[in-house]
Amino acid sequence: MNMPASGSHITVLLQESVAMLQPALSEGSARRCVDVTGGRGGHSAALLEKLQHQDMLLILDRDPSAIAALQDRFADDERVLIRQARFSEIRSVVESLGWESVDAILADLGVSSPQLDEAERGFSFLRDGPLDMRMDPGSGISAAEWLNGAPETEIRQVLKNYGEERFARAIARKIVKYRERTPLQRTSQLAELIAEVIPRHDSGLNPATRSFQGIRIFINHELEELEQFLPEAMAVLRAGGRLAIISFHSLEDRMVKRFFRADAFRVSSDLPLRAAEIPPLPWSAVGKAIHASTEEIQMNPRSRSAVLRVAERSERHAA
């Protein structure tokens, strides 16, 4: 199958995610949905096909270039509201609109294809550009600023914990040694430095894959954002509302899986309670994890690590 052209974006698990949200969109006279990671609008467009003229779709993204693209794409659709915000801010944005609750929420985590394909964003080890990696270039410090000033131990921990890079110690040592001679400013510098430490293996992964991933997650506080987002999203869902999350990293997926099990709300089996006395869980997972099909992976290799999980709200007390 043909590979996607550079700069194009293929929405991952599109039909599967919308289908899993569909039961939450089958009731009510004015449905309200939120796509908290709008990107280039693939999931949003699919959700709009399921909505009627009286329904509303709120789209969030922290990336100003994504916001501009979304505003252009949906300029003529009066059902669409677009806000530049981190997805962890969902509750404050929803409340600012005067909405008491929403019916469905969709989150597609990680970096988008345009971000990877635009060299000047600094996400890609395959394209030389400024070593930035910020999803919102106007906020926080760049990857270059951090790498040129962080202690070796901190760099090693980020590569190991967020990138799951087993050569983290050697790479961190190499970075510190390199920056003593010249500052790290370009993605090509970092990629070449890592390649000197890690020989290319038969796995097909570029030697820089895990390190770039770990640095990106750290720079954008992605795991912290997800940790804040999960209870905030559940707090604005109505009873019977659904939350669908697509993750691409094992740490993210593990966090989502544990939260969806609602472990913190489960009553210990050691307590002498009758079934009728056991309080209901505030939400529950819907079905099993869904992965991209073989056909989708062939068309879009970036979907190979995608995992879709869905949970349904069972009652409306704040999370």
Summarize the annotated binding site as residue ranges. Answer: 41-43, 61, 87, 108, 115
Do 281 and 265 form a contact (C-beta atoms < 8 A)? yes
The secondary structure of 74-134 as a DSSP string is TTT-TTEEEEE--GGGHHHHHHHTT-S-EEEEEEE-S--HHHHH-GGG---SSS--BS---
Interacting residues of 254 by C-beta distance below 8 A, sequence separation 6+: none
Alpha-carbon distances, residue 119 vs 116, 156, 211, 215 (angstroms):
7, 25, 17, 16
Q: Counting Cβ atoms within 10 Å, is residue 72 exposed (0-12), middle (13-18) or buried (19+)?
A: exposed
Please enumerate, by residue number, every residue annotated as part of a binding site for S-adenosyl-L-methionine.
41-43, 61, 87, 108, 115
Angle between helices 222-236 and 250-260 (to 10 degrees): 30
Nearest CA to 312 out of 255, 256, 260 is that of 260
- CB atoms under 10 Å from CB of 281, counted, come to 17
Nearest CA to 173 out of 192, 154, 189 is that of 154
Report strand pairing: 80-84 vs 56-61: parallel
Nearest CA to 232 out of 36, 40, 14 is that of 36
